Amino acid sequence: MAAGYVHTCATDSASAVWCWGENTFGQLGTLTTENASVPTRVPELTAGVTALVAGSNHTCALTSTGGVVCWGSNTYGNLGFNSTESQLPPRSVVGLESGVVALAAGAQHTCALSRSGGVSCWAGNEAGQLGTGTRQRSRVPTQVVGLSSGVVALAAGSEHTCAVTAAGRVLCWGNNADGQPHRPRVRPHTRGLCAGA
């Protein structure tokens, strides 16, 4: 399952996607902008989905072939196809047609973990949550500085992102208003956690 600001999505036993809740930006993937008070099947994703993540008003799915598709609000380039036009049907993320093993989504950004352990992120970046060393938005996936390999897990908050490495280190970047990373960073930084700590 995945929950956004006011919408929720889930996969069933056949790996199809169902969503419900608010749909102002098409974040339910039902090809309309009508809200749904009960789970409604995403017509273009009736099989082959292995994971879901949701931002405030966008949703992304990981397919069984390792590809990533996203739909809904695209104001910040949330959907990763080099546009800011919101989309009702799922759209493939540029450069992520295969090889992805995990996803994480914040309010206005999404990150992907590749089979080789690299991390790329896209969309909103006001707090440096993309980990690219700047605060520039990116409408397509962009490699996180220093994380081209060795990552085994990802998580994202509203405006920050964290990764776990194969060595057990935790690296975080983005908004630090409440101490999420160790200090304000626009690139990954170790908080001081390690395997066995």
Q: How confident is the model at residue 95 (pLDDT cuts 50, 70, 90)?
A: very high
Q: How confident is the model at residue 187 (pLDDT cuts 50, 70, 90)?
A: low
What is the pLDDT, as a whole number, of residue 176? 85
And the tokens for 113? Answer: 């973990």
What is the pLDDT, as a whole number, of residue 179? 58
What is the pLDDT, as a whole number, of residue 145? 95
Mean pLDDT, the chain, rounded, equals 92
Helical spans, DSSP H, in the chain: none
User: Per-residue pLDDT tens for 117-174?
Assistant: 999 999 999 999 999 999 999 999 999 999 999 999 999 999 999 999 999 999 999 9
Q: For 143-167, give one letter per residue: b (16+ CB within 10 A) or e.
A: ebbebeebbeebbbbbbbbbbbbee
Contact between 172 and 180 (Cβ < 8 Å)? yes
Q: End-to-end CA distance of the chain, in Å?
A: 30
* Average pLDDT for 73-78: 97
* Average pLDDT for 100-115: 98
